[in-house]
Amino acid sequence: MKFGIVVFPGSNCDQDCFYVVKDILNLPVEYIWHKETELDSVDCIILPGGFSYGDYLRTGAIARFSPVMDSIVDFVKKGGIVLGICNGFQILLEAGLLPGAILRNANLHFICKYAYIRAENTETPFTNLCKKSRVLKIPIAHNEGNYYIDEDGLKNLEKNRQIVFRYCSSDGEVNKEQNPNGAMGNIAGIVNRDRNVLGMMPHPERCTEQELGSEDGFLIFKSMVQWLNKRG
């Protein structure tokens, strides 16, 4: 089982993701430069956080046209699993691999702090080791994390159980006060209809060891490994 971590010009969480896979999961991992188009050697792809192309125009808008993205679309069609974190999530939205868009935080501030998110759907390749409604403590760090989708789109997300994480209190209550960025429905992460692409604003790669304040992010990586092992 091998992980691939895509590196765009301006990615800056790629090394953290690499470290988690290599040193915490003890699994093979490689960097994939955004100009590469050959993805056959990996079983799972991570689009890391950062500021691809300086966030110019819109977050993820230019990275979405990198050569690697066409190959990622094919990878997804074949059932491969893709995790997009923060800027990676923004790129997946711009690429149309996930529905909706990201707006600037409602309070116009860059927010960098620990947040609590509740696992809404635990039957995905990314959350299968979470108990139902499990609350995870995972840091956020973004200026554009305000998830937006139109009303019909939101209904579809709910109907198809595509909302995977919502911002909540430490005891799992979802309300406006716990919404850091104005995201519609407190949404912190969603999957596609086939459940093999997850985009999330919080950074699981920043919290896989207790020394860092939380190891809840590990559950997400471990779920992916579990799912890939089961698939064989």
Partner 1 sequence: MEAEIYITLKRTVADPQGLTVEHALNSLGYQDVEEVRMGKLVIVKLNLKDKIEAEQRVDQMCKKLLANPIIEDYKFKIKG
Which residues of this protein are in contact with partner 1, per CB under 8 A?
57-58, 61-62, 65, 94, 100-101, 103-104, 106-108, 148-150, 182
Residue linked to tokens 């056959």 = 40
Number of residues assigned to the chain: 232
Looking at the Cβ atoms of 102 and 220, the one nearer to partner 1 is 102
Residue linked to tokens 């840091």 = 139
Question: CA 19 from chain center: how many Å?
Answer: 17
**205 part of the active site:** yes
How far apart, in whole angstroms, are the C-alpha atoms of residue 48 and residue 46? 6
- Output the smallest distance, CB 108 to partner 1, in A: 6
How far apart, in whole angstroms, are the C-alpha atoms of residue 227 and residue 105? 33
- Output the smallest distance, CB 101 to partner 1, in A: 4
**211 part of the active site:** no
**177 part of the active site:** no
How far apart, in whole angstroms, are the C-alpha atoms of residue 189 and residue 20? 20
Following CA atoms 174, 175, 181, 183 in sequence, which dihedral angle do they give, to the nearest 10 degrees?
A: 70
- Output the smallest distance, CB 196 to partner 1, in A: 22
Q: In what order do the strands lie in the sheet containing 135-142?
A: 29-33, 3-7, 44-47, 81-85, 197-200, 187-191, 163-168, 111-119, 135-142
Active-site residue, from 86, 130, 168, 207: 86
Looking at the Cβ atoms of 105 and 223, the one nearer to partner 1 is 105
How far apart, in whole angstroms, are the C-alpha atoms of residue 117 and residue 127? 12
Looking at the Cβ atoms of 29 and 98, the one nearer to partner 1 is 98
Active-site residue, from 13, 94, 142, 203: 203
Active-site residue, from 13, 144, 205, 207: 205
- Output the smallest distance, CB 155 to partner 1, in A: 15
- Output the smallest distance, CB 51 to partner 1, in A: 18
How far apart, in whole angstroms, are the C-alpha atoms of residue 229 and residue 232? 5
Residue linked to tokens 């471990």 = 222
Catalytic center residues: 86, 203, 205
